[in-house]
């Protein structure tokens, strides 16, 4: 079913930029259809979602982006407009003719049914004895991954926890950067005091994350390049050692007389 915004909306505007179909509009603002025609606003007081342009983010995400960022959970399914996944997928292709949206594109329908799939597949695999040896080779994959993932790591910028200091109780809490957007209302878990970041704050944090991740990535790239050069130099030294040892073996082969080898006979008369 399509998504709608309820009367609990606080007009924070966090949902509008997250919609991949530009289906969300501010209250009182006319909405534009695919043919370019303008239509009257569906709401004059709060943000609203145009059902004709909503795909529940099918084709882009495995969840509804507006609901994920809404601080008051007012982006909910509209029980009056039930729609199937195939219809939403077709609508996404119509809205975005320039994009190739496959049949297996991200969808909340697939996410909801993901848990049931393994259970249904289990009885099929059970009666096949030939499939038993396959799991034995599986542990090899985690071992390879473990080598690549060892060491210090940092989260992706969107997953980075942004600290917030409550001006009311001076308590601290944090939120993932993906939700740290201008106009979004955050509530202190200690005193219920609210905090709304401005656009300049969000941009400052975004620039700091980009600067840090850029430097972090360059440091590791420089280290890998340096380690590669050292490895090549070490291998070259070892190659020289190997060649010297092989030459030593050749000299031993020439200096030592093998048993049974033909000997040069001496004459009976020597002068």
Region 106-111: mean pLDDT is 79
Is 64 exposed, middle or buried, given 0-12, 13-18 or 19+ CB atoms closer than 10 A?
Answer: buried
Lowest mean pLDDT among 91-100, 134-143, 198-207, 242-251: 134-143
Q: What was the pLDDT predicted at 125?
A: 39
Q: What's the token pair of residue 24?
A: 């969300």
Measured CA to CA, the distance from residue 175 to residue 68 in angstroms comes to: 13
Say which residue, 271 or 101, is predicted with more confidence: 101
Give the three-state DSSP class for 112.
helix
Region 107-136: mean pLDDT is 47
CB contact at 8 A, 15 and 4:
no
CB contact at 8 A, 29 and 41:
yes
**Residue 195: enclosing H or E segment and its boundaries?**
strand 194-195
pLDDT at 126 over 60: no
pLDDT in tens, 181-199: 988 889 898 888 888 889 8
Region 15-26: mean pLDDT is 92
Q: What was the pLDDT predicted at 164?
A: 93
Q: What was the pLDDT predicted at 270?
A: 57
Collect all residues with Cβ–Cβ distance below 8 Å to 188 and sequence separation of at least 6.
164, 166, 168, 169, 171, 173, 194, 195
Angle, alpha carbons 4-41-49 (nearest 5°) = 20
The one-character DSSP state at 266 is P
């Amino acid at each position: 079913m399509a998504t709608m915004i309820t009367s609990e909306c606080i007009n924070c505007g966090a949902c509008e930029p997250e919609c991949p179909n530009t289906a969300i509009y501010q209250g009182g603002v006319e909405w534009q259809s695919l043919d370019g025609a303008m239509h009257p606003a569906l709401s004059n007081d709060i943000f609203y979602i145009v059902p004709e342009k909503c795909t529940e983010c099918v084709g882009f995400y495995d969840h509804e982006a507006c609901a994920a960022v809404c601080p008051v959970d007012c982006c909910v399914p509209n029980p009056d407009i039930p729609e199937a996944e195939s219809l939403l997928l077709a609508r996404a292709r119509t809205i975005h003719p320039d994009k190739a949206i496959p049949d297996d594109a991200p969808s909340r329908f697939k996410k909801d049914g993901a848990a049931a799939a393994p259970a249904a597949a289990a009885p099929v695999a059970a009666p096949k004895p030939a499939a038993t040896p396959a799991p034995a080779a599986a542990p090899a994959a985690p071992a390879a991954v473990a080598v690549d993932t060892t060491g210090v790591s940092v989260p992706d910028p969107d997953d980075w926890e942004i600290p917030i200091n409550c001006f009311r109780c001076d308590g601290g809490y944090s939120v993932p950067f993906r939700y740290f957007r201008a106009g979004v209302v955050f509530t202190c878990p200690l005193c219920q005091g609210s905090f709304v970041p401005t656009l300049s704050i969000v941009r400052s944090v975004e620039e700091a994350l980009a600067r840090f991740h850029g430097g972090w990535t360059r440091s590791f790239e420089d280290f890998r390049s340096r380690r590669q050069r050292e490895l090549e130099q070490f291998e070259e030294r070892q190659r020289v050692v190997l060649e010297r040892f092989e030459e030593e073996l050749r000299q031993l082969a020439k200096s030592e007389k093998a048993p049974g080898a033909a000997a040069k006979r001496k004459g009976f008369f020597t002068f």
